[in-house]
Structure 1
Amino acid sequence: MNANDWTEAALAKYIVTNPMLQAEIQDLSPKEQQQQTLWAFEDEAENLGIPTWELALTFIAETPEQLKELRLAAHKEAAEALDMDWEEYCELNEVEV
């Protein structure tokens, strides 16, 4: 699963937690509803000062332990993609192992 997959999975749970947003978008087409939900989700992540993928993980994780595991997995993928040493990556990104 990647960040896009996480966000898609999280949007279904996110919209349920936002009845005001549901009411605002109910008359839109399904495609427009999805886009508005995504924008609201991205705005919420920005307001919280976290990346969208991290907010997505908070919605899809079922336990705090799973959330920690998912975050670590995401950071490990990023470190590998950047071809960085794991310890150096953790230090630079303030990742607690």
Structure 2
Amino acid sequence: MAATEQQHEQALKRFLDARPELREELDHLNPLLAQAKGETAAQYREERLHEAFEAEAERQQLFAWELTLQLTAATPLDYEAQRLEVHREVAEMAGMDWPEYCELNGIKP
């Protein structure tokens, strides 16, 4: 079960709530930068938020969807179960044997 859009939005909110300095930065972006990209200020802000979220996931050596699950799971055990379920789905879609997939991706089932 991959993270839903609702889960991702909740994760972004929690991510931003835990980082007041990022919220401050995003609240004071230069509107001319958005205009130069042909975006609204809100679109430009949202893009910067997603970039920060993805950078944090990368810093933690996670996929962005894993960070989403981490921030929205009820418990660490729930997170791990959801994470493994998604990885199993990916392995199936790729037609890979589960142990081979785990080894390739450094997963301890």
Count matched residues.
Answer: 97
22-31 vs 41-50, which moves further? 22-31
Higher-RCO chain (CA-CA 8 Å, sequence separation at least 6) = 2
The answer as to whether partners of 1:7 and 1:52 remain within 8 angstroms in 2 is no
Query: How large is the Cα RMSD of the aligned pairs?
Result: 2.0
Q: In structure 2, list runs of 5 or more residues that go unmatched.
A: 30-40
Q: Alpha-carbon deviations, 1:43-93, whole Å to 9, x = none?
A: 112222222222222111120111011111111111011011122222322
The normalised TM-score by structure 1 is: 0.83
CA distance in 2, matches of 1:2, 1:34: 22
CA distance in 2, matches of 1:68, 1:3: 13
Larger Rg: 2
Letter in 2 for 1:2: A
CA distance in 1, matches of 2:54, 2:106: 22
CA distance in 1, matches of 2:84, 2:26: 35
Aligned to 2:32: none
The normalised TM-score by structure 2 is: 0.75
